[in-house]
Amino acid sequence: MDLIPAPLGLRADADQHFLLDAGTGLDGGPGTEGVQRWLRDTVGAATGLPLPPGAGIVLRVAPELADEEYRLTVGAEGVELVGGPAGLFWGAQTLRQLLGPEAFRRAPLKREGWRLPWLTVEDAPRFGWRGVLLDVSRHFLPKADVLRYLDLLAAHKLNVLHLHLTDDQGWRVEIKRYPRLTDVGAARERSMVGYRSGGNRDNRPHGGFYTQDDLREIVAYAAERRITVVPEIDIPGHAQAAIAAYPELGNHDVVDTAALATWTDWGVNPNVLNVDDGTLRFYENVLDEVLEVFPSTFVHLGGDECPKEQWRASPSAQARIKEQGLSDEDELQSWFLRHFDSWLAARGRRLIGWDEILEGGMLEEHSDKGGGGRREGGLAPGAAVSSWRGYAGGVAAAQAGHDVVMCPEQQVYLDHRQAPGDDEPVPVGWVRTLEDVYRFEPVPPVLRQDPAAAAHVIGTQANLWTEFMDDVREVDYHAFPRLAAFAEVAWSRLPQEPAERDWAGFAARMAVHRARLDALGVEYRPESGPRPWQRRPGVQGRPIEGAPPEV
């Protein structure tokens, strides 16, 4: 049936069909109203069918099924879709796929001839976290583009949007208590074009931010599509936009923070937050407003790529190390992050951060260390890790009892190039083809030998970093069609040995799925290579030759 992602079970009679026409009704019991509305808004618009209340397509919440589980049955009497609250929506996505690529358009190309094969689909996802990171800090995406990406995630049964909202190059979330974060930090004078060794700048201001109401709208739109939006506020590194807005946040006893502006380069920035009490209070106040906007259980606090040179030179940072009885600057970063870990836990939320948060004793228990009195060490039990530098951080966290989202850059960083050769636009990283992504396995062999630890792999995520993608068309090119392969890895129960996966079968299904992407207006990378307007001749990238290292 060319379904992507592949369902858990499917039985079909391809010779029998149920015909949909102007008299086909849509109805359901309590709890189905949102899915009915979505079907009328999308399938109804694409088919031209009114789908009035009545018999034909019947929805029902099934308490006996898990939240994301569903069962779709099509027969002579019509369509029955039953599922958990989220499963109903995923089943509706399957129903849409079964109608053909034309069902993904916003207006009808035909008004008759719509039919569904007789079948039964029984389905449930492998992972509860099936995520995509969208970096809106390096290059801002207007709200309409974010809403569109939520629809694309939903079409692939992906259920987490990780919004990377702050970085050195831009602060994208309105914080009413601190207006300069967006007055100053949401804009930069220019942008680096391509990799730094090329020396290119566009000399064009770039900026943008989301108001809190914009973000509430995004969260509500996502929730209707059973997607959780997880915000990321990056600390203590990747913070120059915030320091430019409020210089007292930086290491002003080492550098002239008042002279800093929102960063115009890419890469790892030496300007990091100081560790003073005022900075802790500042970010607590920021997070107070973030929690009001985002109801997600998890809040991502970054914790990655934090150079320690300024802390080594800072009398204030060194005094904090001595006061807390810490060994070095790595433990200082752990102390800083543990503060917010505890702060979130006290409010019923859970910290998640990049795997650097494991460094400096974050997985260890500490007792008395001179001068600081007794203090609790290590991550709070509910804290989780996004494992990006391969599997190692995720393995360590899972073995220590912490939940993990596997997103190794060697496999699922979709800013990495899709093919060798000079035609790929701004070629970055390793070659990661559609087949490479399809053969990604989120649970490594070492964890498969330890079921208790493996259970802490709550999901997987593909990351779209946008240093080299300055508009949504370039995001489309890098994301698709690879995101379709990732969606199948995250949802379907594929063989855990990648070599055993049916790549040929998936590739055949992709022929139909590309037509769905065409109907949705996605400017994906063609199999034959980039179209002329998808290339970036003369813009230097940072390709890495050879196969990526084992993760």
Cα separation, 154 vs 38, in Å, equals 11
Is-contact 358 390, C-beta < 8 A? no
Token look-up 């004078």 returns 189
Q: What is the enclosing helix (H) or strand (E) of 204?
A: none
Pure H helices in 195-323: 212-224, 240-245, 277-293, 309-313, 315-323
233 lies in a domain?
yes
Distances in Å between the alpha carbon of 243 and those of 153, 237, 262, 270, 407? Answer: 34, 11, 8, 12, 29
Q: Are residues 494 and 359 in the same domain?
A: yes
Known catalytic membership, residue 167: yes
Q: Are residues 108 and 27 in the same domain?
A: yes
Encode 130-162: b = buried (16+ Cβ within 10 Å), e = exposed: bbbbbbbbbbbbebebbbbbbebbbbbbbbbbb
Q: What is the enclosing helix (H) or strand (E) of 452?
A: helix 451-454
Identify the active-site residue in 123, 135, 167, 470: 167
**CATH code where residue 311 lies:** 3.20.20.80
- pLDDT tens digits, 483-519: 999 999 999 999 999 999 999 999 999 999 999 999 9
- pLDDT tens digits, 380-418: 889 999 999 999 999 999 999 999 999 999 999 999 999
Contact residues for 94 (Cβ-Cβ < 8 A; gap 6+): 3, 7, 70, 72, 121, 123
**Domain end (from 56, 90, 123):** 123
- pLDDT tens digits, 440-477: 999 999 999 999 999 999 999 999 999 999 999 999 99
pLDDT exceeds 80 at position 425: yes
Q: Are residues 288 and 160 in the same domain?
A: yes
Contact residues for 319 (Cβ-Cβ < 8 A; gap 6+): none
Q: Quickly state the pLDDT bin for 360 (edges 50, 70, 90).
A: confident
Task: Return the axis-axis angle of helices 143-155 and 85-98, rounded to nearest 10°.
Answer: 80
Q: Are residues 200 and 239 in the same domain?
A: yes
Cα separation, 231 vs 339, in Å, equals 18
542-543 vs 298-302, strand pairing mode: unpaired
Contact residues for 527 (Cβ-Cβ < 8 A; gap 6+): none
Q: Are residues 411 and 360 in the same domain?
A: yes
**CATH code where residue 48 lies:** 3.30.379.10
**Domain end (from 95, 123, 151):** 123
- Mean pLDDT over 78-106 rounds to 98
Q: Are residues 282 and 330 in the same domain?
A: yes
3 lies in a domain?
no
Burial bucket for residue 253 (CB in 10 Å: 0-12, 13-18, 19+): middle
323 lies in a domain?
yes
pLDDT score for 292 = 98
Tell me which DSSP letter residue 173 carries: B
Q: Are residues 116 and 133 in the same domain?
A: no
> What is the overall mean pLDDT for the chain?
95
549 lies in a domain?
no
- pLDDT tens digits, 51-61: 999 999 999 99
Range of the domain at 85: 9-123
Identify the active-site residue in 162, 206, 238, 513: 238
398 lies in a domain?
yes
- Within a 10 A sphere around the Cβ of 295, how many other Cβ atoms? 12
pLDDT score for 376 = 52
pLDDT score for 371 = 38
Q: Quickly state the pLDDT bin for 551 (edges 50, 70, 90).
A: low
22 lies in a domain?
yes
Q: Could you give the number of structural domains in the chain?
A: 2
Known catalytic membership, residue 276: no
Q: Are residues 143 and 98 in the same domain?
A: no
Contact residues for 332 (Cβ-Cβ < 8 A; gap 6+): 275, 308, 311, 317, 320, 321, 324, 326, 360
Is-contact 188 205, C-beta < 8 A? yes
- Mean pLDDT over 215-223 rounds to 98
Identify the active-site residue in 145, 305, 330, 518: 305
pLDDT exceeds 90 at position 180: yes
Q: Are residues 382 and 526 in the same domain?
A: yes
Q: Are residues 491 and 515 in the same domain?
A: yes
pTM (predicted TM-score): 0.97
**Domain end (from 123, 143, 170):** 123
**Biggest CA pair distance of the chain:** 78
Q: Are residues 324 and 444 in the same domain?
A: yes
Q: Quickly state the pLDDT bin for 369 (edges 50, 70, 90).
A: very low
Q: Quickly state the pLDDT bin for 365 (edges 50, 70, 90).
A: very low
171 lies in a domain?
yes
73 lies in a domain?
yes
Q: Are residues 297 and 438 in the same domain?
A: yes
